[in-house]
Amino acid sequence: MKITAWFGVVLGALSAAGEVFITKPGQTVNLKCGGHTDKNLEWRHGNKKIYSILPRSPGPLKGESEIADRSRLSGTDLRIRGVKEQDAGKFTCIIDGKSQEHTLLVVSLSLRSSADLRLGSEATLECNVKGVNPEPAVQWKRPGGSVHTESQIAQLKPLARSDEGTWSCTFSHAGKAHSESIEIKVAEPVRTTLAPVPPKNSKDVTVPKPPKTPMGLSWWMWVVIGVGCVVVLLLMVFVICLCRRIKRRKRVLRKMKNGRQRPMPAQYCQCNRPTAAAKPQQGRRREKPSAPPLQPLLMG
Residue 157 reports pLDDT greater than 90: no
Q: Dump pLDDT digits (tens) for 125-145.
A: 999 999 988 888 999 999 988
Average pLDDT over the chain, rounded to an integer: 78
Higher pLDDT, 269 or 61: 61
Whether 106 and 87 have beta carbons less than 8 Å apart is answered as: yes
CB-side exposure of 165: number of CA atoms within 13 Å? 13
Whether 153 and 125 have beta carbons less than 8 Å apart is answered as: yes
The whole-number pLDDT of residue 11 equals: 35
Higher pLDDT, 6 or 40: 40
The pTM assigned to this predicted structure is 0.55
86: closest CA among 48, 112, 53? 48
The whole-number pLDDT of residue 44 equals: 93
The whole-number pLDDT of residue 65 equals: 84
**DSSP label at 141?**
E
Higher pLDDT, 259 or 166: 166
Whether 93 and 104 have beta carbons less than 8 Å apart is answered as: no
Residue 251 reports pLDDT greater than 50: yes
Higher pLDDT, 56 or 62: 62
Whether 108 and 24 have beta carbons less than 8 Å apart is answered as: yes
In whole angstroms, what is the distance from residue 55 CA to residue 38 CA? 6
Q: For domain 108-184, give its CATH number from 2.60.120.620, 3.40.640.10, 2.60.40.10, 3.10.20.30.
A: 2.60.40.10
Q: State the pLDDT confidence band at 280, using cuts at 50, 70 and 90.
A: low
The CA-based dihedral angle spanning residues 171, 177, 182, 186, taken in that order and rounded to the nearest 10 degrees: 80
The whole-number pLDDT of residue 198 equals: 57
CATH architecture assigned to 18-106: Sandwich (2.60)
Residue 91, Cβ neighbours under 10 Å: how many?
25
Q: State the pLDDT confidence band at 231, using cuts at 50, 70 and 90.
A: very high
Residue 23, Cβ neighbours under 10 Å: how many?
19
Residue 77, Cβ neighbours under 10 Å: how many?
14
Length of the chain as a residue count: 300
Specify which of 35-44, 170-179, 188-197 reaches the highest per-range mean pLDDT: 170-179
Angle at 91 between CA 86 and CA 96, to 5 degrees: 155
The whole-number pLDDT of residue 268 equals: 53
Residue 58 reports pLDDT greater than 70: yes
For residue 180, give Cα distances in angstroms to 12, 23, 32, 105, 164. Answer: 33, 9, 22, 11, 17
Residue 81 reports pLDDT greater than 90: yes
* Domain ranges within the chain, ordered by starting residue: 18-106, 108-184
Residue 55 reports pLDDT greater than 50: yes
Identical topology for domains 18-106 and 108-184: yes
Specify which of 135-144, 264-273, 277-286 reaches the highest per-range mean pLDDT: 135-144
Q: State the pLDDT confidence band at 60, using cuts at 50, 70 and 90.
A: confident
The sign one gets for the Cα dihedral 19, 73, 50, 109 is positive
